[in-house]
Structure 1
Amino acid sequence: MNFEEKFESLIEVLIQSPQPNKEFLHFMGPKGIANSLGHDEILKLSKDKALRLMTISNKEPILIEGENTLEFLTNFFAVMMSGNIPVPVTTNLWINDERYVEIIKSIKATTKANILLGNSSLQELIRDMDLLLVSKENWKDLKKREKEVYMPNADDIAFIQFSSGSTGNPKGVVLKHKQVLANLRQITNEIHDEERGNNVITWLPVHHDMGLIGGILTPFINQYDVYIMTPYEFAVNPNKWLKTISQYRGNIIVAPNSGYHMAMKRVRQKVLDSIDLSSVRIALCGAEPINYKTLENFYETFKVAGLKKEAFVPCYGMAENTLAISFHRNRRPFKVDIISKKEMLENQRASTSGSKDERDNLYFVSCGKPLADIEVKIVDDRGNELPERSIGNILIKSPSTTEGYYQREDINKDLFQDGMLKTGDLGYMVGGELYITGRKKDLTIVNGLN
């Protein structure tokens, strides 16, 4: 399916839904599914909000509190349909008030936003920010405009993605509808399997690219059944995630390395004895460095529950490419490359280690091959392409790649090299597969060694 050819925007996905009444979005509550709805209901709720937003805003960024709720989803599409630009931001539920205020002030300063859509409890926190708070309780106070909603085109900004910890002079990735649709196509082509099922279980925060694109928009465009928990629920009790996977026969799950580690460490024996994870065919792992021991330990813990080792899909991505760049093709278990630390430090080479001395061994997990239409190159600091197993700067080019950061010409001018995005990451290729070794900015030079 070529989403860019079929749809102009994410809003057209709602309007042209092949099964508008299919309830596939399931928001989880304390005792199971709290609310289920489909494209028709999302369109109806979002349109009502959009007509109200049109009376107070026009073609401007609007901040949206990133809670894993129906309220966020309808706010997100309402902002698009009102002709404005959605800017998902963190909720204050899992960070302290001082940190939350710092983040929101920084993002407001960059975007010049005047409106925040979020919980009424935020009113006191934003009192000095010159932000109009529109909460669930006061939407009806806004007059509804009697006209048609805005229909975005492919070149319109779909949303601006800030990192979860944006402060100071933050970078907001500008993503157009055509770029988002391209990445959703690239992801779908890798994960879709009509025969084995596409049920998705997610708890990842929706203000983060992996939670929004991977956890919400991929199921949204394909009408996959998706069961949406909150990050708070997972953090308090990872066993609930495992039980949800088992109960609703989750086929696709996604978590960062730390999520798999936490679930493995905190599983209760009673839960382990009762769950069935045999339905999981894709267990995506990304968003932070991947430790092979975490995946090995998770598998060893849950193989008694039917988990298959080949389900693991280590992946690489970043908001600057919407989300996904490369996936491990999981017809076989994930790959681990053991290289010489000495060779890496002295020669920037990922030479296979034959050492029996563990102090010289470094372990890197393959993040697989680039997705369709994504070009990846490894280059040195002069821009020269490097051969296999040479460690260098990772460049990417894709129809899903951003054209730059919002209102940040100071860094946009140096964001690309020969038409390819400079990711800021370091890595190497082996057999067409990508291995990530770290961030360029984290390098220090000691006695001539990186």
Structure 2
Amino acid sequence: MVRSLVDFLTTHASRQPDRTAYRFLVTGDSDGETEEISYGRLAERAQAIAAWLQERGLPGARAILLYPAGIDFICGYLGCLAAGVVAVPGVPPRGRKQNHRALTRMKRLIADADATVMMGDREVIDGLADMAEHLPELADITRVATEDIPDVAAASWRDPGLTPDSVAFLQYTSGSTSDPKGVVVTHGNLLDNVRILSERWGHTPDAIERYGHEMYVSWLPVYHDMGLIAPVLDTLHLGTTATLLSPLHFLQRPERWLTAISRFRPHTSGGPNFAYELCLKHATPELVESLDLGDWRVAFNGAEPVRAATLRRFAETFAPAGFRRESLYPCYGLAEATLMVSGGHPDEAPVLAATTAHGPAADTAAVGVGRPGPGLTVVVADPERHVELAEGETGEIWVAGASVARGYWRNVMDTRETFRATVTGHEGRFLRTGDLGFLRDGELFVTGRLKDVIVIDGRNHYPQDLELAAETAHPALRPGCTAAFPVDVVEREERQDVQDVQDGRDGGVTSERIVLVAEAAPEAVAGAEETIARLVRAAIGDAHAVPVHDVVLVRPGTIPKTSSGKIQRRATREAYLRGALAGVAEAAAV
């Protein structure tokens, strides 16, 4: 009986020790330097690290993993699992100078996880010494550069006796609507979710053989659930090969991702919607002509709203390279459910809702994200009455099944509220995702976040819809880099003066109004600020019959995002209210 992913590691190391488990593109280029590790070598390094942890009496403790992109992280992560230590993937320090946000997050991670050890490569561990004055918490934490742990330590490794109920790691949520929380993921959760991934993505023995065991190419950050569980842990589950590159190398040159897919010809690869938009932005005729994407069977798209326009344009642009529309694979998941909740079947084109149009006419349609994975139950519930809604009605998406994590680390109240919901007519407990959506013919459609809904004059508006309308208004606006949110506006009669309102006299009427913040390159905006703002207002007004109070154009990189690329609307709203946005220009408020 398989009790944990550690059992898969030891099995593959015994049966196919020389097979490449992971290949890392050091420079990000397919024809550049590569590092590879076989299953035999991977087991040896994981067991050596595990033995080092065991000898120091650390099983059950939390270890923060601070590695740059590469194979060392995988060895360290699996070393934690093999020792019975709870892994806590973290964002590695970037250089010796840390900004305030990074330091604050590190402090919170150390305190919340109650970590007793930090693991990384030598450069990271040495760099932590320079952060000591800003992070006094480091004084009580053991730090180790795992590359310095000798291979011979593996001989003293002891099986930790894991069970499916043993905690594997804490996945700190990316915090799109709240402070990050540590999701407690067990070995049983992982085993169930990699099973769902393999079933939903068609990772059958025949497919593995047909692809020569080359199943994944990924640039996704491994400290995030999508980048860890799909390309890294599902590879371990299958005993196949994954090709990895740094997220930074992808962002510098998005074509590296497509070139790696063309070179290594994997079955599966993907990312959030913005990744496909970046590829489209850099899709020169020369690039398309150089690629062969004919074997790319599952191009998954998740972690943020999936845009019908992006799917259409990507399929059309890369069709000459052999890419098939049927390979596009919208899906839905979240850390609290380990990773995947729903997805379609390979070789089926994406499902669009509420339209019979094709081409550009269907670009604003809602995109289906497939059906619940086998063993998972998904209901759309009224979040107030805790009753299941009828098909086609929009409500909160609730999930039950073995992939649903145990709860939030040392957070009883939020665990009870999020993971212990009940639905009339259904047995057991449900996870409240906080996402809104509806079911139609078994297909799930995600429409937004419960806490992000904007109510104007009694009507609900989803910020994703407003953002999409804005982004199509002018080519200077960057796709996936727009935030819509509400602000309170005091509407007063003309007889009231400013001092009256400030003092609360004769108060006027306070109502919610929409603000739209959009990123644009300064050179693309120069002299056209008012025109762009007018077009944005018109586009949102035409599509949603709602006025926009303010349009703010900001420099690229200004709008805060989570580690998975999700827009942080609350943080953007707070920056707007503080007047802290680094603007390219700002349209006058109406």
TM-score by length of structure 1 reads: 0.89
Query: In the alignment, is the contact (CA less than 8 A) between 2:380 and 2:389 conserved in 1?
Result: yes
Q: CA deviation at 1:98?
A: 2.4
Query: In the alignment, is the contact (CA less than 8 A) between 1:155 and 1:176 conserved in 2?
Result: yes
Aligned residue in 1 for 2:136: 128
Do the aligned partners of residues 40 and 83 (structure 1) sit closer, same or farther apart at CA in structure 2, a change above 3 Å counting?
Answer: same
CA offsets, 1:405-436, max 9 Å, x none? 11011211112212111111100011000000
Query: In the alignment, is the contact (CA less than 8 A) between 2:297 and 2:347 conserved in 1?
Result: no
Q: CA deviation at 1:272?
A: 1.6
Counterpart secondary structure, 1:14: helix
Query: In the alignment, is the contact (CA less than 8 A) between 1:201 and 1:227 conserved in 2?
Result: yes
Counterpart secondary structure, 2:45: helix
Are 1:38 and 2:38 matched, yes or no?
yes
Q: In 2, distance between residues paired with 1:138 and 1:247?
A: 33
Q: For 1:262-301, what aligned pairs fall within 5 Å after superposition?
A: 262-301=278-317
CA offsets, 1:241-289, max 9 Å, x none? 1111111112211111000100111133322211111111110000111
Q: In 2, distance between residues paired with 1:145 and 1:276?
A: 45
Q: CA deviation at 1:151?
A: 3.5
Q: CA deviation at 1:109?
A: 1.2
1:412 to 411, 415, 436: 415
CA offsets, 1:224-253, max 9 Å, x none? 221111101100011111111111112211
Do the aligned partners of residues 112 and 427 (structure 1) sit closer, same or farther apart at CA in structure 2, a change above 3 Å counting?
Answer: same
Q: Percent identity?
A: 29
Query: In the alignment, is the contact (CA less than 8 A) between 2:396 and 2:436 conserved in 1?
Result: yes
Q: In 2, distance between residues paired with 1:58 and 1:281?
A: 40
Q: CA deviation at 1:312?
A: 0.5
Q: In 2, distance between residues paired with 1:166 and 1:256?
A: 14
Q: In 2, distance between residues paired with 1:144 and 1:90?
A: 27
Aligned residue in 2 for 1:9: 4
Q: CA deviation at 1:59?
A: 1.5
Q: In 1, distance between residues paired with 2:130 and 2:433?
A: 38
Which letter maps to 1:124?
A: D
Do the aligned partners of residues 324 and 75 (structure 1) sit closer, same or farther apart at CA in structure 2, a change above 3 Å counting?
Answer: same
Q: In 1, distance between residues paired with 2:98 and 2:240?
A: 35
2:276 to 260, 282, 291: 260
Counterpart secondary structure, 1:434: strand
Q: For 1:369-380, what aligned pairs fall within 5 Å after superposition?
A: 369-380=371-382
Counterpart secondary structure, 1:99: helix
Which letter maps to 2:143?
A: L
Do the aligned partners of residues 124 and 82 (structure 1) sit closer, same or farther apart at CA in structure 2, a change above 3 Å counting?
Answer: same
Q: For 1:142-291, what aligned pairs fall within 5 Å after superposition?
A: 146=156, 148-164=158-174, 170-191=180-201, 192-193=203-204, 194-195=206-207, 196-197=210-211, 199-291=215-307
Q: CA deviation at 1:140?
A: 5.5
Query: In the alignment, is the contact (CA less than 8 A) between 1:66 and 1:206 conserved in 2?
Result: no
Query: In the alignment, is the contact (CA less than 8 A) between 1:51 and 1:147 conserved in 2?
Result: yes
Q: In 1, distance between residues paired with 2:229 and 2:245?
A: 15
Q: In 2, distance between residues paired with 1:81 and 1:136?
A: 14
Q: For 1:79-98, what aligned pairs fall within 5 Å after superposition?
A: 79-93=80-94, 97-98=99-100
Q: In 1, distance between residues paired with 2:394 and 2:250?
A: 36
Which letter maps to 2:371?
A: K
Which letter maps to 2:158?
A: E
Query: In the alignment, is the contact (CA less than 8 A) between 1:158 and 1:177 conserved in 2?
Result: yes
Q: CA deviation at 1:139?
A: 3.7
Q: In 1, distance between residues paired with 2:63 and 2:35?
A: 26
Q: In 2, distance between residues paired with 1:81 and 1:135?
A: 18
Are 1:441 and 2:451 matched, yes or no?
yes
Do the aligned partners of residues 169 and 258 (structure 1) sit closer, same or farther apart at CA in structure 2, a change above 3 Å counting?
Answer: closer
Q: CA deviation at 1:67?
A: 3.2
Which letter maps to 1:23?
A: T
Are 1:110 and 2:117 matched, yes or no?
no
Structure showing greater relative contact order (alpha-carbon pairs closer than 8 Å, 6 or more residues apart): 1
Do the aligned partners of residues 143 and 301 (structure 1) sit closer, same or farther apart at CA in structure 2, a change above 3 Å counting?
Answer: closer
Counterpart secondary structure, 1:214: helix
Q: CA deviation at 1:40?
A: 1.6
Aligned residue in 2 for 1:60: 61
Q: Which 10-residue stretch deviates more, 405-414 or 428-437?
A: 405-414
Q: In 2, distance between residues paired with 1:370 and 1:167?
A: 24
Aligned residue in 1 for 2:396: 393
Q: CA deviation at 1:176?
A: 0.7
Q: CA deviation at 1:122?
A: 3.4
Q: CA deviation at 1:388?
A: 1.0
Aligned residue in 1 for 2:51: 51
Query: In the alignment, is the contact (CA less than 8 A) between 1:316 and 1:324 conserved in 2?
Result: yes
2:368 to 361, 366, 387: 366
Q: In 1, distance between residues paired with 2:89 and 2:248?
A: 18
Q: Which 10-residue stretch deviates more, 130-139 or 373-382?
A: 130-139
Which letter maps to 2:129?
A: Q
Counterpart secondary structure, 1:241: helix
Q: In 2, distance between residues paired with 1:105 and 1:269?
A: 47
Q: In 1, distance between residues paired with 2:88 and 2:430?
A: 25
Structure 1 unaligned blocks of 5 or more: 1-5, 339-351
Counterpart secondary structure, 1:133: strand
Q: CA deviation at 1:46?
A: 1.1
Aligned residue in 1 for 2:20: 23
Which letter maps to 2:447?
A: T
Aligned residue in 1 for 2:492: none
Q: In 2, distance between residues paired with 1:97 and 1:353?
A: 49
Q: CA deviation at 1:13?
A: 0.9
Give the number of the structure whose alpha-carbon radius of gyration is greater: 2
Counterpart secondary structure, 1:74: helix
Counterpart secondary structure, 2:459: coil
